[in-house]
Structure 1
């Protein structure tokens, strides 16, 4: 599955155990811009590094697998959990800061310039 949206949050790497780590990515998905959805994805193990270059505001395309699993508590009640596990992320555009451009020169009123100073032939 895949989805396109804007990066809302990139989580830190969480070392769950000696052999397991994960990292969250929250993407703003705006199928209807009036009511955006905030979807939490998980990057697991070696895929956590995929998120290193992304920043809040970047437009991305996230490729993921949808996983679900049951969990039964001590009382015998079963709950179900879903997770969206990232396997690839493509940057569509980045939230770049405005470039550092020098300020524009102040406008000059050319109508008050004397014709004698003008060396152009026309």
Structure 2
């Protein structure tokens, strides 16, 4: 699978265990510029370096695999987790001169945690 967007954040390499490391990449995906999605991709092990040549604001295409797994807690309740595991990131050529990019005017994330309980005008 592939997706195009703008680099929003690049995480540091996390050494989870002695033999396992990972790194996150947050991409602003604006299929509809009014409702920007911030999508977290992860790279693991020797692939953590694929984010090294990126900078915040770069237009990229991320190739990734969708992975999912169950986890059962000690009380017997099963929860399911999904991961977007990046295996290639390609910087896109600067096409701003030829065509406007949908991600150029991405608004900053809005904190809705303090909104009133009576606010029913959510878009979903």
1:73 aligns to 2:64 (yes or no): no
Q: Give the RMSD, CA atoms, in angstroms.
A: 0.9
The 5-angstrom pairing of residues 82-101 of structure 1 reads 82-93=82-93
Q: Distance in 2 between matches of 1:87 and 1:70?
A: 22
Structure 1 residues not aligned, in runs of 5+: 95-122
- The structure richer in helix per residue is 1
Contact 1:28 1:37 in 2 (8 A): yes
1:25 match: 25
The structure whose Rg is larger is: 1
Q: Distance in 1 between matches of 2:5 and 2:93?
A: 10
User: What's the TM-score once normalised by structure 2's chain length?
Assistant: 0.74
The number of residue pairs the alignment matches comes to 94
1:100 match: none
User: What's the TM-score once normalised by structure 1's chain length?
Assistant: 0.75
